[in-house]
Chain A
């Protein structure tokens, strides 16, 4: 949550987008609440996008996620950054983020909790 807060603080005009499973988003909000009780404030500026939305709306996202490295390759050098690339493309297609405005995109709750 520190990276999201820092991004919002230094880029108040930019969208802060978190893509994750719906259940994980609820867990994230609980973690924020237990950390400093500022759950409502954070919820107001973090744009949450359920992963199911992307799975449904973006064939490219489905394709990339069904392939390595997410399924079978376990090389630790594979980074979720490549997932963020595919997610960003899907978010552009859906009109969630826009080319003329900066966006901070985070995928998954584990990274967001840090």
Chain B
């Protein structure tokens, strides 16, 4: 689900050395939830590389990906083999190498590789409802240790998600807030996340309920003394 003008966002990032950028999920995984293709050749190179890898036998592919034979790990392998400048990473956290674009407002912007959408809406899998964190993801771990939280700036139509980042356990003025330009709603229960246009009835209440459920689950699940 998109919550802003992607073209303006991309303009704010400037030129890409690689011609192609995707979302980082962890040090070894990337997501295609949002991709920025600046040059046709870069996309062609990646698709050709993926096609070649898919021709491999399962056992070879498992070895290549160290047991994680899926496209997220393969994108990580592509970066490892070709170098980080071959496939750049769009900003999902404040320390992004590409910097953080702004829209008309002064707020800086981030993208969701799946972590926030999974946290607020859960996933389709049993036992992974609102409040779910995948701790193998960088953002999931940052959330678990309470360096970052998510919220909505408005409970009505036009609402937009935001994240607040705090350096380690410091609260207050040292924390910084960024708008999220998308939510990767893994559960595919999308209606509550609709914020403009023909908004289905009751979505505002559903959205508030989901966020509160996620936060309550998080409070119960994670030990406050850990950080």
Binding site for B on A (CB under 8 A): 2-3, 5-11, 13-14, 36, 38, 60, 63-64, 67-69, 73, 75, 77-79, 81-82, 84-86, 88-89, 92, 99, 101-102, 104, 111, 114
Contacts and interface: CB of A to CB of B under 8 A. Distances in A.
B190 interface: yes
Please tell me the size bucket of the interface on B: 35 or more
Contact of B5 (A5, A11, A60): A11
A7 B2 contact: yes
Interface in B25-55: 31-33, 35, 37-40, 43-44, 46-48, 50-51, 54-55
Given A77-B72, A85-B32, A114-B189, A99 B38 contact: yes
A6 B44 CA distance: 29
Contact of B54 (A10, A67, A101): A67
A73 B38 CA distance: 31
27 contacts: A2-B1, A2-B190, A2-B191, A2-B194, A5-B194, A6-B3, A7-B2, A9-B196, A11-B6, A11-B7, A14-B6, A36-B198, A64-B54, A67-B54, A67-B55, A69-B54, A69-B71, A73-B69, A78-B70, A78-B71, A81-B33, A82-B50, A82-B71, A84-B32, A104-B2, A111-B188, A114-B189
Interface of B: 1-7, 10, 31-33, 35, 37-40, 43-44, 46-48, 50-51, 54-55, 58, 68-72, 185, 188-191, 193-198, 200
A73 B61 CA distance: 11
Contacts of A9: 196-197
Main secondary structure of the interface of A (DSSP, over half): helix
Contacts of B194: 2, 5-6
A64 B4 CA distance: 32
B178 to A, nearest CB: 17
A73 B180 CA distance: 34
A57 to B, nearest CB: 15
Contacts of A85: 32, 35, 43, 46-47, 50
Contacts of B54: 64, 67-69
Contacts of B10: 102
Contacts of A81: 31-33, 71
Contacts of A3: 1, 185, 190
